[in-house]
Structure 1
Amino acid sequence: MAYLKIMILSMIPITELRGAIPIGIALGLNPIGVYIASVVGSTLVSIPLILTFRHIIHFLRDIKMCEGLVRKVDRKIASGMKKLKNISILGIILFVGVPLPTTGTWTAAAVASILKMRIKDAFLGVLLGNMMAGIIVSALSLHLI
């Protein structure tokens, strides 16, 4: 039950994986179990987030006040799409994988939605990034680095 709580905690935007792992380790839970629960929770939430952000962006296109801004972003993305497609998965991996504030799953899902990434690619990028961030945060929490 404690690992389920850690998994749910890793889904919340304020704590995410970066907060769930130190909390789980501080509670005396097995670090490997905490790592797995945190990575799974933080990654699973990415698919509904990407779909939700896509709907929000689509909704913003219909609002007159936001139409110009959304169109400008769409043009910018379309002009550099060939370059972005090649580096987008790597970019998401590095964006999520470096455990800094505001670089977690929630922000990556918004970026993937704006870039119109395929869900499979965005999910893979978030998963690998969460695995990388989880290792770093676990090592810091266990005072290994």
Structure 2
Amino acid sequence: MIPVTELRGAIPIGIALNLNPIGVYIASVIGSTLVSIPLVLTYRHVVQFMREKNIFTKLLNKIDQKIENSMKKMKAASLLGIILFVGIPLPTTGTWTAAAIASLLRMRVIEAFTGVFIGNCLSGIIVSLISYHII
């Protein structure tokens, strides 16, 4: 659940400690995914607070305008985008960043959660295979 490392750090550490790899994978995916719901909701409140206090108003208005202009395209691609964003294990492409993106895109919580879950499953598989030197 910790930002930056998330399951990308938990799986290699669990494997290095000779823990059950399936248990490590399941615990890492669940732990990294569960944090997405409160994060999406928290980020929404932070953005609302920033609007009320006129903090980063120009940036938020610019993001809103982009979303309004391409809402249909973005909504259709947002779930797949979150899955791929989380699923490819690169630095800063985990649950925390995906939750912020989902908040900015005004995705429904269940869609954000689903995208993060599937992305974490994919990322967990890739990280596990890398940890075992298979890829």
> Is the shorter-chain TM-score for this pair beyond 0.5, marking a shared fold?
yes
> What code does the residue aligned with 1:99 have?
P
Aligned pair count? 135
Could you state the TM-score of these two structures normalised by the residue count of structure 1? Answer: 0.90
Q: Percent identity?
A: 67
Report the equivalent of 2:2: 12
Report the equivalent of 1:85: 75
Note if 1:31 corresponds to 2:21: yes
Could you state the TM-score of these two structures normalised by the residue count of structure 2? Answer: 0.97
State which of 83, 88, 95 in structure 2 corresponds to 1:98: 88
Aligned equivalents of 1:64 and 1:123: distance in 2? 29
Report the equivalent of 2:108: 118
Deviation at 1:63, TM superposition (A): 2.1
Query: How large is the Cα RMSD of the aligned pairs?
Result: 0.8
| Segments ≥4 residues shifted beyond 4 Å | none
Is there any run of 5+ residues in structure 1 with no aligned partner, and where?
A: 1-10
Q: Which has the higher contact order (CA 8 A, sep 6+)?
A: 2
Note if 1:138 corresponds to 2:128: yes
- Once structures 1 and 2 are overlaid, which stretch shifts more, 73-82 or 42-51? 73-82
Deviation at 1:64, TM superposition (A): 2.4
Deviation at 1:65, TM superposition (A): 4.1
Report the equivalent of 1:41: 31
Deviation at 1:144, TM superposition (A): 1.4
